[in-house]
Amino acid sequence: MSTVQEGSLPEAGSPAAFQAEDAVKARGYWEQVWLRLKRDRLALAGGGFIVLLFFVAFAGAPIAAMLLGHGPNDQFYTAVDPDTYLPVGPMTRVQTPDGGTTLFILGADSTIGRDLFLRLLYGARTSLEVAVFATLFSVGTGVLLGSLAGYFRGGIDTVVSRLSEIFMAFPALLFIIAISATAGEQLNGVTFGGFLAPGVFTLVLVFSLFGWYYPARIVRGQVLSLREKEFVEAARMTGASDWRIVRSHLLPHLVGPVIVYSTLIVASLVIGEAGLSFLGLGIQEPTSSWGNILAQAPQYYLTVPSLMIWPGLAILFATLAFNLLGDGLRDAFDPRKTG
Amino acid sequence: MPGKLVLATVMTALAASLFVAGALAGGSATSATKGGTLRYNHSLSDYEYIDPQKCYDTGCSELLWPTMYNLMQYPEKAGPLGKRVYPEAATGLPVVSKDGKTYVFTLRAGHKASNGKTVTGQWFVHAFERLLSPKMGDAASARFGGVSVLASVQGAQAFYDGKTQKISGISTKGNKLTIKLTQPFPSLVSALAMNWFTATDPSTPYSEQDVNTVVGAGPYYISSREVGRTVVLDRNKNYKGSRPANPDRIVVTVGGDQNQSILQVKAGQADLEPIVPSAAAGALADEFGVNKSRFFVKPTSVTSYWALNSLPGQPLANAKIRQAINWAIDRPAQVRVSGKFGGRRTTQILPPAMPGFQQANNIYAYSGANVAKAKAVAGDVSNVPTLRIVHSNSSANINRGQIMRFNLEAMGLKAKTEPIPSAQLFTRAGDKKNGNYDVLAIGWQADYPDPSNFVNVLLDGRNIPDQGSSNNAALFNSPKFNKLMDAAAKLSGDARFAAYGKLDVQIMKEAAPWAPYINANNRILTSARISNLIYNEANTDIALNALVIK
């Protein structure tokens, strides 16, 4: 097996050149991305945690409920300490109405006496539903509008750009409060036949409404640059339609930045959901979410601080995982990063 | 003789020295009880109003009490003695006409307020006028049915409507103040102890805005206020009355975090937190004991309840279902939400602190079989539409709402909860058209210790307006009970209290317009340097002016 020494490159067409081409294995774009990503252990750990989180939230929660014999919204008044009137602590066996007992792995969530562990698992489900669907809708809208604006420019670009500026200037929190106070009850009831938890649709709508303009601006900038490249010119000369150019020649170049942005935005939406639910504007009781679990905790921060710690850790690790993966993907998609 | 003279001289000298020593000891005791700055934490939020004619909650009434100088007043005493109203600005009890419609008060002469002016009858007239004037905007009277309290004063309604410049039923001449009523109002004397009726400088303007200083004719006055931060009360140097005035100054810090406040009081960085958070009560009781040194649990005259919308045509118009709900709700769980020493469980309208209260143990007594009992009482509830449970968005009420929902669903009803801000809750309560609730979490604290202030004010169906909110959150209107309320209101003394006590139980047994669950306690923490905490059960206030800083 021959090697190619730096500073002694063979001339093209020479036998040595053929030998060198054999030695350098051609790698595709995605393979190179994967190779770069593989070298980032933190990103991989983040990705692994996310996979685990999805499994725990969507499969683990119902399995845990079945094994424990109660649901996340079931109230056990025996899960409140009769002496202190505080929620019971971790690994407490709680008496059930039929005279049996059931295990509260992380204790009770409040003086209502619900299982904190199950509520955390089901809360993960709610948080992920909100974050993932809102990301899909906001990024999808952003990519569509950004591509159109960047590719066609002119009037469409003006409309999309001004629209994004208006949305950026709009007081989103006030709008959310107004929505919550007026149409919140109706919107919270939209669950698509139980597919989504109550309240998820409202948050997805709100986050999508106020989340599309950043990806739109990123994509617009990219497309403005790409549309001047030779390969687009070539495609246009061969008679490709605008739709084909956008779909087949531009969008593949946008996959990297869009995936990176999406990963990072999921993390911020997990925090957004928790924040709004904490303020009472997001997911409403009895549906569990990390935010409304956390909302119960401040009154106990001197007496049962673990009520704040568990949902806090869940939010911390979930956002950290998405951020680490996002950072790793950003580096992996960057061909200048050779690692 | 000389021996007797010597003995007499020695005895005289001894007596004189004892007298001087006693006097000195007395003097030092007095100086030990007076002085210092009381640091009072009023956590969570600022006062909505400190204007005496606008203030209508326990927080501001506690703040104003040391500044107040009323015709009738509650003493700074605990227990039953504190419930006996006494003449403060009046020289004695009023002279009441035979028909019970005219009250004549004789005023003390020469009493001076903090601004140096002498208090006259006009100061009390002005209090009534500010309370009822349309120029005051959303004064307490307008917002909370104060007019109904004062409806019996001649000319009150016309003045309130802006038709007259003076209230015809109130006049003053010399040291006499005359109040004329359209109908007997036996609890007037108690009502006059409210902060609304405190002597108010006639130069105090009418305003829709709140005030930042309050002239006090009582032992203190409000010298300054920084909205959202502090309120300062200073001693009224012109006060010559008998009420205590121990701290030199009372500095109220508003709007902090309750838990932080507890830490401050425990560490001696603040002196008083009158609202201990529910989760902290147990630990404080363990540390300081209850009602011993620093942690105090005192009853209020509050009943917290679920108002069950009884309006005809509504899902809960049927008394049987309302009774069933009373059976179904898990009151122990509702009480536990308030934390340790949060209050006592109740199934009645009147709180125990209210004169006339009769303990009835067998109304909706809680046992393990309550759901079965509720189902049996309610019968088939499959046709009852989804009940709308409305409550404030406080953490405690969100929890109570979840318990209520859980209980209703256990008895076969469908329910959904709607947490809303407290301000919205009050605008929706008792609103026939726009209330949009079936079950509403609310509570009531008596303005003065008379049972009519609970029963008639909250359940007389004739007080429900065609539009807007009202105190009758259950929208309960029963001709039978309206008549019984009228009959009880006309009585006085023990007969009055007995009638109301009976009516309380009868309403809950037969009509069940409410599902009451707790008579709340006040949980109070003081610093180590505070003593002489006097809690008046009539107005459920701490006498801030009586606190002694060691």
Residue A58 DSSP code: I
Answer for the pair A107, A306: CB distance below 8 angstroms, yes or no. Answer: yes
The verdict on A89 touching B (C-beta cutoff 8 Å) is: no
SS3 B516: strand
Q: Which residues of A touch B277 (CB under 8 A)?
A: 299
Cα separation, A206 vs B196, whole angstroms: 46
Residue with tokens 């004064």: B139
- Cα angle A66, A71, A77 (rounded to 5 degrees) comes to 130
Q: How far is B336 from chain A (nearest CA, A)?
A: 6
For the stretch A146-179, what's the b/e string if a residue is b when 16 or more beta carbons lie within 10 angstroms of its beta carbon? bbbbbbeeeeebeebbeebeebeeeebeeebbeb
Q: What is the pLDDT of residues B110-165, one digit of tens each?
A: 999 999 999 999 999 999 999 888 888 866 555 545 555 577 899 988 888 889 99
Asked if A110 and B399 come within 8 Å (Cβ–Cβ), the reply is yes
The verdict on B399 touching A (C-beta cutoff 8 Å) is: yes
Cα separation, B67 vs B253, whole angstroms: 18
Which CA distances in Å does B284 have to A249, B292, B297, B369? 70, 12, 11, 35
Asked if B402 and A284 come within 8 Å (Cβ–Cβ), the reply is no
Q: Could you tell me which of B275, B337, B203, B166 has the C-alpha nearest to residue B524?
A: B275
Asked if B282 and A84 come within 8 Å (Cβ–Cβ), the reply is yes
Given B277, B342, B401, which is nearest A299 (Cβ)?
Answer: B277
Q: What is the pLDDT of residues B497-549, one digit of tens each?
A: 999 999 999 999 999 999 999 999 999 999 999 999 999 988 889 999 999 99
pLDDT > 70? residue B473: yes
pLDDT-derived band at B18 (thresholds 50, 70, 90) equals very low
Joined tokens for residue B9:
């001289």
Q: Backbone phi, then psi, for B40, in 5-degree steps? A: -110, 125
Q: Could you tell me which of B496, B330, B300 has the C-alpha nearest to residue B404?
A: B330
pLDDT > 90? residue B79: no
Cα separation, B404 vs B306, whole angstroms: 9
Hey, CA dihedral for B434, B440, B445, B448, is it positive or negative? positive
Residue B196 DSSP code: G
* Residue B245 burial (C-beta neighbours within 10 Å; 0-12, 13-18, 19+): middle
Q: Which residues of B touch A182 (CB under 8 A)?
A: none
> Strands B102-106 and B176-180: what pairing?
antiparallel
H-state helical runs in A189-305 = 200-209, 213-226, 230-237, 242-244, 251-278, 290-296
H-state helical runs in chain A = 15-23, 29-38, 41-55, 61-68, 116-152, 154-169, 172-182, 184-188, 200-209, 213-226, 230-237, 242-244, 251-278, 290-296, 306-333
Cα separation, A246 vs A274, whole angstroms: 37
Q: Could you tell me which of B275, B227, B219 has the C-alpha nearest to residue B250?
A: B219
The verdict on B394 touching A (C-beta cutoff 8 Å) is: no
pLDDT > 50? residue B27: no
Q: Could you tell me which of A202, A303, A208, A321 has the C-alpha nearest to residue A263?
A: A321
Residue A248 DSSP code: I
* Residue B116 burial (C-beta neighbours within 10 Å; 0-12, 13-18, 19+): exposed
Contacts of A140 (CB under 8 A, 6+ apart): none
Q: Backbone phi, then psi, for B516, in 5-degree steps? A: -70, 150
Q: Which amino acid is at A183?
A: A
Interface confidence (ipTM) of the complex: 0.74
Given B399, B406, B419, which is nearest A111 (Cβ)?
Answer: B399
Radius of gyration of chain A (CA): 26
Q: What is the pLDDT of residues B81-105, one digit of tens each?
A: 998 899 999 999 999 999 999 999 9
Mutate to test the interface with A, among B406, B414, B436, B517 (most CBs of A within 10 A): B406
Given A111, A296, A303, which is nearest B280 (Cβ)?
Answer: A303
Cα separation, B481 vs B130, whole angstroms: 34
Residue B78 DSSP code: -
Radius of gyration of chain B (CA): 26
Given B263, B332, B419, which is nearest A280 (Cβ)?
Answer: B419
Q: Backbone phi, then psi, for A248, in 5-degree steps? A: -95, -25
Q: How far is A89 from chain B (nearest CA, A)?
A: 14
Asked if B282 and A295 come within 8 Å (Cβ–Cβ), the reply is no
Asked if A298 and B259 come within 8 Å (Cβ–Cβ), the reply is yes
Answer for the pair B395, A296: CB distance below 8 angstroms, yes or no. Answer: yes
Q: Which residues of A touch B408 (CB under 8 A)?
A: none
Which CA distances in Å does B87 have to A53, A331, B91, B187, B238? 70, 82, 6, 14, 19
Quick one: pLDDT at residue B3?
45
The verdict on A32 touching B (C-beta cutoff 8 Å) is: no
- What are the per-10-residue average pLDDT scores of chain A (339 residues)? 44 52 70 88 95 95 95 92 91 89 94 94 94 95 95 94 93 83 81 87 92 94 92 91 90 88 92 88 89 89 91 95 92 71
Cα separation, A86 vs A109, whole angstroms: 10
> Residue A119: how many CA atoms within 13 Å on its side-chain side?
30
Asked if B336 and A77 come within 8 Å (Cβ–Cβ), the reply is yes
Cα separation, A184 vs A181, whole angstroms: 6
Quick one: pLDDT at residue B415?
95
pLDDT > 90? residue B75: yes
Cα separation, B235 vs B257, whole angstroms: 28
Joined tokens for residue B361:
């143990």
Quick one: pLDDT at residue A107?
95
Quick one: pLDDT at residue A174?
87
Q: Which amino acid is at B483?
A: K
Answer for the pair A76, A102: CB distance below 8 angstroms, yes or no. Answer: yes
The verdict on A339 touching B (C-beta cutoff 8 Å) is: no
Residue B136 DSSP code: G
Quick one: pLDDT at residue A23?
62
Above pLDDT 70, what percent of chain B?
A: 92
Answer for the pair B536, B76: CB distance below 8 angstroms, yes or no. Answer: yes
Above pLDDT 90, what percent of chain B?
A: 71
Give me chain B's average pLDDT, please: 89
Cα separation, B510 vs B524, whole angstroms: 37
The predicted model gives B193-220 an average pLDDT of 95
Q: Could you tell me which of B119, B294, B259 has the C-alpha nearest to residue A301?
A: B259
Asked if B402 and A285 come within 8 Å (Cβ–Cβ), the reply is yes
Q: What is the pLDDT of residues B31-45, one digit of tens each?
A: 458 899 999 999 878
Answer for the pair A135, A266: CB distance below 8 angstroms, yes or no. Answer: yes
Cα separation, B1 vs A32, whole angstroms: 128
SS3 A93: strand
Hey, CA dihedral for B358, B361, B362, B365, is it positive or negative? positive
SS3 B344: strand
**Beta-bridge partner residues of A94:** A102
Joined tokens for residue B424:
């919205």
Q: Could you tell me which of B185, B173, B165, B172 has the C-alpha nearest to residue B125?
A: B172
